[in-house]
Structure 1
Amino acid sequence: MTLIKSISGIYGTIGGRPGDSLNPLDIVKLTSAFAHYIHGRKMVVGRDGRMSGLMVRNIVVGTLMGLGYDVIDIGYASTPTTELAVRMAGADGGIVITASHNHSQWNGLKLLNHNGEFLTPYDGKEMLALAETENFCYANIQHLGQLTIDETFNQRHIDAVLNLKLVDVDAIRKRHFRVCVDTINSVGGIILPQLFQALGVDFKILNGECTGAFAHKPEPIENNLLGIIGRMKQEHFDLGIVVDSDVDRLAFISEDGTMFGEEYTLVCVADYVLSHTSGNAVSDLSNTRALRDVTLQRGGQYFASAVGEVNITAKMKEVGAIIGGDGNGGVIYPECHYGRDALVGIALFLSSLSQQQCTVSQLRASFPDYQIAKSSIDLMPDTDVEAILKKVKDRFSKDKSAQISETDGLKIDFPDRWVYLRKSNTEPVVRVYSEALSIEQADHLGNELMHYFYDMQKDLVLDKFGLNNNLILHNSTAPLKWTNYSFK
């Protein structure tokens, strides 16, 4: 059983003992702490389609009412819909019940302030400290909160997207797109058909029933999307679209069944936005260099932030960026709101495709072509990640061609490639990202860093616990090979 508390929210596996997982007692404690911390009177609650969602929703809503909060339950709703609903309803905060791209046995609480944005790291730490005190006071019978059910916010979200200046509804309708969409049996199956109908897009939905029985692993990466990729190759669609369970991540598939690339979701949307509006762009450290390239080509400045939506949005505000997001297909367009939003990403992408009168594969070919490899290392109990990263940093400090960033984890940037290691906010793993001009080079660099990390963990952890060499490596696109750590 697992319970993880981070700037991205609170995530856990359902069931188990208090303190070890996302169970009723911990849900009450964390909801109470959040409600006390923001010190308001009105709260919005939305949830994705997970099978545990109703149970978690009932506990969250009941706890809030017991604290004297009036609750607006917007029902099945994406994370960006809930973010917008907080602002539209004039609420003091919001709770999204979702575990994002995590497996079906997980659920979580994403916590929003009065702007419909994630808590800052400072606020998050203060709130979690309050939760540990359990110093809560609940309302008496005269001051219990009221519950309102309002399921209009999906349409209000769509209306907000259609009203964006750069969403070219007329051009999209004239293209008569035919798209195949995988909504993984969650809330995307509810809201995306409404969006496509409004845009005049002909669509076929795969896994469209909002049952929470995910048809495949929720993370929208190629290995999990063989079903829709097969349909793209067999049938004549203009575009494939994939979202995660709470519809803040977005991936595209070209008309020939090849992946557009999660990282290139933001690249394409940013290029379109910057071609019409002068300004700057921001992404986190794990995103492709292609975003930097297109931003500079459009006359803007590119800035990198620490990983995490709240860190990206903070950097965007700091530098006045007009577009931003992350390498997981998250698009943040402040003209709509400061939050990753797949609906905004879809509408802007289709606008770009319509205006350029090209195919998806032709659009992808117009951008700088980098290849990125993504892997992860399962952490053993009590692994000292910071100590290991320090040893990795010391190894590369002698290489004058390497630029090292410790903004969030450890990124080693060479002139023609980079590799990045960081501890996940949502899972007990270390993420390993590497990018180069070919997937073979990216895999080689990533694999060598994983083996180097492996050796450091062996020295610092395996010997301590007397364990064998049993690290589990995930999602690598090439077989692992021992090397002499040449990194060249």
Structure 2
Amino acid sequence: MALFSTTGIRGIANIDITPEFMLDLGKTFGTMVGPCKVLVARDTRTTSEMLSNSLIAGLLSTGCDVFDTGIAAGPVVNHAAQSAYDAGVMITSSHNPPEYNGAKFILKGGKEVGEKEEIEFEKILNSGKFTTVSWDKVGSYSECDSVSPYIMDALALVDLEKIKSKKFRVVADPGNGAQIDAVPRILKELGCEAIIINGENTGKFGRLPEPRPETLSELFEEVRKQKADFGVAFDCDGDRAVFCNEKGEFIMGDVTGSMIADSLAEKGDKIVTPVATSSIIDDVASNSGAEIVRTRVGAKYVSDSVISGGAVFGFEENGGCIFPKLSPGRDGSMTLITMLDLLTDYDSFSSAVSTLPKYFQLKAKVECSDDKKADTMKRAMERAKQDGLKFSDIDGLKFFEEDGWILVRASGTEPVLRVFSEAKTESRAQELLERGKALLSD
């Protein structure tokens, strides 16, 4: 099994991710990047402080100076590694259930380790050949505040007075995660009336950490009850933000990402998003004259493309947005700030959404053992060619019809193939979904 997931290293705490293992991860990262200044932050899981202490010990043993900012969201680490430190580590398992934990490793410049660095990391870890230093060269340890500088730099990117004048009423749900400190502070700075739910540091979660429609019923109800302008929810490490409108209706990340792209992009600008994102963004780009760059599914691919292509914005359908003016990592806090900024030009969240075209996207799974995935995908491509379908193979296979598309991807975590479809009517999206499943049939 690969050490790195799509984002970082994850596993069940005290079983897969033990203090001993985390000590070695710290030694490995310190060997790879150090000796240098490393910022360390953690989410609110019951095991995060324990694992953070172990990782810090490993970093110190390689001569790295460690700056511990305590509980802070992932975007804070990305920003700090770009502005003030040489590298960063976030102790988190993102949206996984509370028994999980792990780490995300950030390089100088604020970029998460990519595939090249992951290979180097694994070689060092597996060899056990760590660059540990003598007793008199062990790194120093100190505590710091990296949240305040982050908030100051983030707020400098929007029109503060315009946002304050609207006096937005916002229900925010940090999910008892790493945004419990920053988000209330940000909303106060922006003159918002903030109603916070699941805002306590309990070490456990009042809802599941993954902010999806089925986990956010409390947020929807509170927005309606409080007659708020909208609601926002975050995953545990705070690098993603999802929204509901003033009616308590969930808004997909494709939509909110396209709204933000529309507010930021000008003619000639580049917007980066994965192949699975809705065609809404293509319509938005055609209006502004921006260029859409499609990538493989995964935050690191979007981030790499944003950096290499000089894009102004990148986003995923799960609510992960990248604002390169602040840092090259996904940023839930800046997503909220930018959403407030753009909503100053509308009467309501719903009216802002109504300016975008409407599409229907459906998803399904087809069981397929790992050893048969490649052959099944090859057969699907051959069938599509026989049918005269145009396709892209950036990530899986994306087939294009005149009025919609079908995407087929092999799951990296389950024995299934994932099928996506999109069209302007739900019935047509269903037809395309069934066609996608048929392309995979024996």
Structure 1 CA distance, aligned partners of 2:162 and 2:243?
Answer: 20
Matched, 1:58 2:48: no
Contact kept, 8 Å, 1:13 with 1:22, in 2: the verdict is yes
Give the direction of change, closer, same or farther, for the CA distance of 1:322–1:129 in structure 2 (3 Å limit).
Answer: same
1:170 corresponding residue in structure 2: 161
Q: Which amino acid counterpart does residue 341 of structure 1 have in structure 2?
A: D
Alignment match of 1:103 (pick from 97, 106, 111): 97
Greater shift, 262-271 or 207-216, is seen at: 207-216
Give the match's secondary structure for 2:383: helix
Give 1:464's aligned residue. none
Q: Which stretch shifts more, 41-50 or 425-434?
A: 425-434
1:32–1:64 Cα contact (<8 Å) kept: yes
| Separation of aligned partners in 1, 2:419 and 2:138 | 48
Report what 2:328 is aligned to: 338
| One-letter amino acid matched to 2:172 | V
Matched, 1:15 2:47: no
Change (3 A) 1:114 1:377: farther
When normalised by structure 2's length, the TM-score is: 0.93
Q: Take 2:331 and 2:65, find their aligned partners in 1: how far apart are those partners?
A: 26
1:476 alignment partner in structure 2: none
Residue 287 of structure 1 aligns with an amino acid whose one-letter code is T
User: Residue 148 of structure 2 aligns with which residue?
Assistant: 155
1:67-466 maps to which residues of 2 (within 5 A)?
Answer: 67-91=62-86, 93-150=87-144, 152-164=145-157, 167-274=158-265, 279-354=269-344, 356-375=345-364, 382-400=370-388, 402-423=389-410, 431-443=418-430, 445-446=432-433, 449=436, 453=440
CA contact (8 A) 1:270 1:281 kept: yes
SS in 2 for 1:189: coil
Unaligned ranges ≥5, structure 1? 457-488
Q: Which amino acid aligns with 2:19?
A: P
Give the C-alpha shift of residue 412 in structure 1. Answer: 2.2
| Preserved contact between residue 7 and residue 124 of structure 1 (Cα < 8 Å) | no
* Residues 3 and 13 in structure 1, CA contact (< 8 A), matched pair in contact too: no
User: How far did 1:278 drift?
Assistant: 5.5
User: SS of 2:82's equivalent?
Assistant: helix
Q: Secondary structure at the match of 1:5?
A: coil
Instruction: Indicate the larger mover: 247-256 or 101-110.
Output: 101-110
Bigger CA drift: 197-206 or 22-31? 22-31
CA contact (8 A) 2:42 2:70 kept: yes
Distance 2:413 2:215 in 1: 19
Deviation of 1:133 after TM superposition, in Å, equals 1.6
Task: Provide the alpha-carbon RMSD of the alignment.
Answer: 2.3
Shift of 1:79: 0.7
Residue type at the aligned position of 2:278: T
Bigger CA drift: 316-325 or 418-427? 418-427
Structure 1 residue aligned with 2:39, among 36, 44, 50?
A: 44
Cα separation, partners in 2 of 1:55 and 1:394, compared to 1, 3 Å: farther
Cα 1:445/1:215, change in 2 over 3 Å: farther
Task: Give the whole-Å Cα distance in 1 for the aligned partners of 2:109 and 2:367.
Answer: 35
Aligned match of 1:478: none
Shift of 1:442: 3.4
Give the C-alpha shift of residue 428 in structure 1: 7.4
Distance 2:368 2:54 in 1: 31
Equivalent in the alignment of 1:459:
none
Per-residue CA deviation, residues 84-113 of structure 1 (Å, 9 max, x unaligned), is: 11223232x111111112221221211111
In the alignment of these two chains, the number of paired residues is 442
CA contact 2:13–2:47 (8 Å) conserved in 1: yes
CA distance in structure 1 between the aligned counterparts of 2:265 and 2:248, rounded to whole angstroms: 28
Take 2:415 and 2:63, find their aligned partners in 1: how far apart are those partners?
36
1:35 aligns with 2:23: no
**Which residue number in structure 2 is paired with residue 465 of structure 1?**
none
Higher alpha-carbon deviation: 49-58 or 237-246: 49-58
Structure 1 CA distance, aligned partners of 2:69 and 2:46?
Answer: 17
Q: How far apart, CA to CA, are the structure 2 residues paired with 1:88 and 1:425?
A: 34
User: Residue 278 and residue 346 in structure 1: after superposition, are their counterparts in 2 closer, same or farther (change >3 A)?
Assistant: farther
Question: 1:374, CA displacement in angstroms?
Answer: 4.1
> Structure 1 pair 324/149, CA: closer, same or farther in 2 (3 Å)?
same
Does the residue aligned with 1:321 lie in a helix, a strand or coil?
Answer: coil
How much identity, in percent, do the aligned residues show? Answer: 27
Letter in 1 for 2:334: V
Give the TM-score, by structure 1 length. 0.84
Q: What whole-Å deviation, never above 9, does each CA across 1:213-246 have from its counterpart, x for those lacking one?
A: 1222222221111111122233311111111111
Aligned mates of 2:404, 2:247 — CA distance in 1: 28
**Secondary structure in 2 aligned to 1:252?**
strand
How far residue 376 of structure 1 moved from its aligned partner, in angstroms, is 5.2
Deviation, 1:452, is 6.0
Offset at residue 212 of structure 1 (A):
3.3
SS for the counterpart of 2:250 is coil
Matched residue SS, 2:272: strand
| One-letter identity of the residue aligned with 1:295 | A
Indicate conservation of the 8 Å contact 2:30/2:58, yes or no.
no
Q: Check whether the contact 1:221–1:262 (CA below 8 A) recurs between aligned residues.
A: no
Q: How many Å separate the matches in 2 of 1:118 and 1:386?
A: 29
- 8 Å CA contact 1:13, 1:107 repeated in 2: yes
Cα distance change on mapping 1:438 and 1:207 into 2, 3 Å: farther
Structure 2 counterpart of 1:15, which letter? N
**2: distance between equivalents of 1:15 and 1:384?**
34
Provide structure 2 residue ranges, at least 5 long, that are not aligned to the other structure: none
